[in-house]
Structure 1
Amino acid sequence: MSEKRAVHMKGIRNQILRTAEKLFLTQGYKTTTIRQIVQESGITSGSIYNIFEDKEHLFSALVDEFLTDAKARIDKVLADQPAENRMVGLLAMELYITEKNPVVRELMCAFHTSPFLMETVIKRHSALAEEVWAGRRHPRSARLSTAILLSEGAVSSYVISFDFSQKLDFAEIRRKVMFCILRNMGLEIRESNRLIQYMEENENLWLDLAGQVLNHSNETAEA
């Protein structure tokens, strides 16, 4: 493929992603269709399917973008913090924005019920969890993927709980979910409790960073 052709295809891919992102974040995953993306982007369905196998693969590419952007922002803001603080920050962004944004909740439900999409998230979170143990005396990274998989089950319960007919104590559930995740990854009780306190003390920071991730297309356009 020539360099000119590669640049052209990259532009088309980006246009598809930005259009899909706008639709997903305004009306959710289930409602958004490839036909709508065609109409909004001006890109033919053939061109879309030439790049993405289906809507699920397109959404997976966006999830990967969001996670990459979120981690980059966390690494920048918490550059002087240990890996476990950065990991908690990334997870806290997901938990807090899930509570505040109904559309994000629907998107979270979408990828938590898709094995293909869940694998993307688990790989990302496992890589960060490995950083936590990299400098420790007795690293426990051998089964981190399993620990993250079980932890995502706890996150799924958190996401679903917002649709219960009975209103629950979401702050308490969030603490329990984070405790479950940290303990699954092998952190001790005392350290887990410290990190939960750290999470709650910085709620506004996580929400601000999550908002930046969701609006990164606007930032790019303005730049």
Structure 2
Amino acid sequence: MKTTSVADEVLRAALDLFASQGYANTSVQQIVAAAGVTKGALYHYFSSKDDLLFAIYERMLSLQRRRLDEIIASGGETEEVVRAACEDVVVTSIDFLQEGTIFFRSQHMLVPERQKEVKRRRREYHDAFAELIARGRDEGRFRDDVPISVLIAHFFSDVHYLPHWYSPEGPEDKTEVAQQLTELFLRGIRSTDG
């Protein structure tokens, strides 16, 4: 039998409530009632509702950064490393679709310190991804007529748009979608000389 920690129960209850009625309209009392715990138990793991919203997104941020580091560390041809990184971020974004949707809809309600922390963590991921694109440019594989920031914004706009159209019940599974979006991106950034 699988056991779930109190923290996981609280996060799951918060996730479900934030999804169904919105972050602003959800009270701590509703979260503890849905999780079947006391306020004391919630506050043992999370200092505030703000802390819960951050924790929901932080799990995805940490996983994606860890996976990117592993992909880069495994080495290989630059384009194949970029391919693996792109496919991974699409798949993990789909795996955390509800979390990402809730976070992007409510992130402006985080306290300023938390907003800065999210921005810093996303910037670290962005910078590591940008280094891969720059490496591909240095090798003559990727185009150099468009700024790297524009190339990256192009790809991640597709990732951030996933909640607006992707459905697990739809005709494409997450792996197919990851491969298709990645191939479109790679075709767009390849050097015509490479």
Q: Which residue of 1 aligns with 2:146?
A: 189
2:49 partner amino acid: K
Q: Which residue of 2 aligns with 1:33?
A: 27
Bigger mean CA deviation after superposition, 43-52 or 190-199 = 190-199
Q: TM-score, normalised by structure 2?
A: 0.52
Supply the distance in 2 between the matched residues of 1:49 and 1:196 (Cα, whole angstroms).
38
| Structure 1 residue 123 corresponds to structure 2 residue 120 | yes
Does the CA-based 8 Å contact 2:57-2:103 persist in structure 1?
no
Q: How does 1:66-215 map to 2 (within 5 A)?
A: 66-69=60-63, 80-82=80-82, 86=86, 104=101, 107-114=103-110, 115-134=112-131, 136=134, 189=146, 191=148, 194=151, 206-207=162-163
| Structure 1 residue 46 corresponds to structure 2 residue 36 | no
Deviation, structure 1 residue 59: 1.4
1:118 partner amino acid: Q
Deviation, structure 1 residue 120: 3.3
Deviation, structure 1 residue 12: 0.8
| Structure 1 residue 21 corresponds to structure 2 residue 11 | no
Change in CA separation of 1:194 and 1:66 when aligned onto 2, cut-off 3 Å: closer
Deviation, structure 1 residue 63: 1.5
Change in CA separation of 1:107 and 1:195 when aligned onto 2, cut-off 3 Å: closer
The runs of 5 or more residues in structure 2 that have no matched partner are 75-79, 136-143, 169-194
Change in CA separation of 1:208 and 1:113 when aligned onto 2, cut-off 3 Å: closer
Does the CA-based 8 Å contact 1:74-1:86 persist in structure 2?
no
Q: TM-score, normalised by structure 1?
A: 0.46
Change in CA separation of 1:59 and 1:190 when aligned onto 2, cut-off 3 Å: closer
Q: 1:12 pairs with 6, 10, 27, which one?
A: 6
Change in CA separation of 1:25 and 1:72 when aligned onto 2, cut-off 3 Å: farther
Does the CA-based 8 Å contact 1:73-1:209 persist in structure 2?
no
Supply the distance in 1 between the matched residues of 2:64 and 2:165 (Cα, whole angstroms).
7
Does the CA-based 8 Å contact 1:111-1:117 persist in structure 2?
no
Residue identity over aligned pairs, in percent, reads 21
1:126 partner amino acid: R
Q: Which residue of 1 aligns with 2:140?
A: none
Change in CA separation of 1:13 and 1:81 when aligned onto 2, cut-off 3 Å: same
Aligned length: 142
Deviation, structure 1 residue 54: 1.0
Q: 2:50 pairs with 50, 53, 56, which one?
A: 56
